[in-house]
Amino acid sequence: MSEFTNHKAERIQKLTTLFEAILRNKNVKELYEEHRKIIDLCIPTDVVFLVDDLVKKNIPMPELKKGINKILNLLYKTIVDYPYAKPQENSYLWVLQENNRVMLEKLNSLKPFIKEINKHPEISEPKQEALEVFTELEKFVNYYLIKENLLFPVIEKYIPEFRCVSVMWSFHDDIKRNLKKLAELLRDSTFELKEFNRLTGDLYFNMNAIKFREERILYPLVADVVPEKELENLFAESMEIGFPFFTPKIDLEETAGLESISGKINLETGSLTVEQIKLLFNHLPVDLTFVDEFDKVQYFSSPKKRIFPRTKAIIGRDVHNCHPKESVHVVEKIVEAFRAGEKESASFWITIKGERLLIQYFAIRDEKGNYKGVVEVSQEISEIQSLTGENRLLDWAD
């Protein structure tokens, strides 16, 4: 194993040397001949480790992306020739690749329109047809959102050398920006053919390149390292964002949520221990009190500085008995309006002992809209009200 690790480290070091030579603008053909041995020996996952190392060197992103494009061009044949197993049908990675496949079909369908636009830039029909395809391709932005918000966090969890995703994310942003610019350009009466061709060329290259790098470098590594169940759990939220072109027919009840973790409570958007939940609520800069649908007090938080005193004696007590007669009618009116579905929130602000207090009530409802209680949130807002201008820098005193 150590011998294997040493060989990998040696390959990465030599690839880094090759990358540095590329940055020095050496002739690519000469570089290929000079580094042919290491190019032939490398494997696709070496690219992940290489890019991780390069990101840690803090190379400016534009320079880094340009160099990566060149080195992957040199490694293209080596990566293509490496044994590759396609993901199992209907698996999460397979669904991603199906969306890639449809994307490529739509991208390639642009070619005759682009050719016609270059022949006759003054004619509107091919521009309109191209615009329709570009508008359709803009839906593919959802694919990148799914990767960035769902798949990338899983990669960071299981692959220590995860920094390649930050570079891929930057390429996503380039693609999104170019799709938007191309649509705007085709709608503009002062059409600029040179700019259109430049943007189209960049778009073709980047969308094809990202697809190749996903399917032949990143996704095989993900399949090897990330548990299949963890990937399957991404289906529900991916479908909330919306797959752009291919949506699988699956039972979301079987895949939704996070896998139960011993000692933790599944909260759908994460799993926490009871201790973590308690610490989280008690460190919020607000007082929280929860009353259930039966008007019984079930919980209150314990921040370092409470605004209104609470004791454990109120747990299970009817909320109507927790207020003086002079003000209980206000609480009853709020609860009944929430229960009837007439209102969702109520806010009050008062001054007590020189402190400005904001007291808010929010209706709690389940996914079907059924009333499940009310939460009272109280906060001291004097400092918030005094804020002016902007503060974008950390201003801690030394």
Predicted pLDDT at 215: 96
d(CA 177, CA 198): 13
C-alpha 398/C-alpha 393 separation (Å) is 14
- What DSSP line would sit under 50-70, residue for residue? HHHHHHHTT--HHHHHHHHHH
Write the CA distances from 162 to 145, 155, 159, 359, integer angstroms.
17, 6, 6, 44
Paired with 267 in beta bridges are none
Mean pLDDT computed over 309-332: 75
Q: Residue 360 has what pLDDT?
A: 95
Predicted local confidence at residue 5, as pLDDT: 55
pLDDT grade for 2, boundaries at 50, 70 and 90: very low
pLDDT band at residue 393 using 50, 70 and 90 as cut-offs: confident
Least confident of 35-44, 205-214, 245-254: 245-254
- In this predicted model, what pLDDT tens digit does every residue of 144-188 receive, in sequence order? 999 998 899 889 989 988 889 999 999 999 999 999 999 999 998
pTM: 0.66
The pLDDT tens digits for 165-174 are 999 999 999 9
The predicted-structure confidence for 285-297, as pLDDT tens digits, reads as follows 999 999 999 998 8
Check: CB of residue 177 under 8 Å from CB of residue 170: no
pLDDT value at 116 more than 60: yes
pLDDT-derived band at 261 (thresholds 50, 70, 90) equals: very low
Higher per-residue confidence, 15 vs 6:
15
Nearest to 141 by CA among 164, 108, 175, 184: 175
Question: Residue 257: is its pLDDT beyond 60?
Answer: no
- DSSP string covering 87-145, please? PPTTSHHHHHHHHHHHHHHHHHTTHHHHHHHHH-TT-SHHHHHHHHHHHHHGGGHHHHH
Nearest to 84 by CA among 246, 224, 231, 230: 224
Mean pLDDT value across residues 301-330: 77
Strand residue runs (E) in the chain: 265-266, 271-272, 287-292, 297-300, 345-352, 355-365, 371-380
Bridge partner list, 348: 359
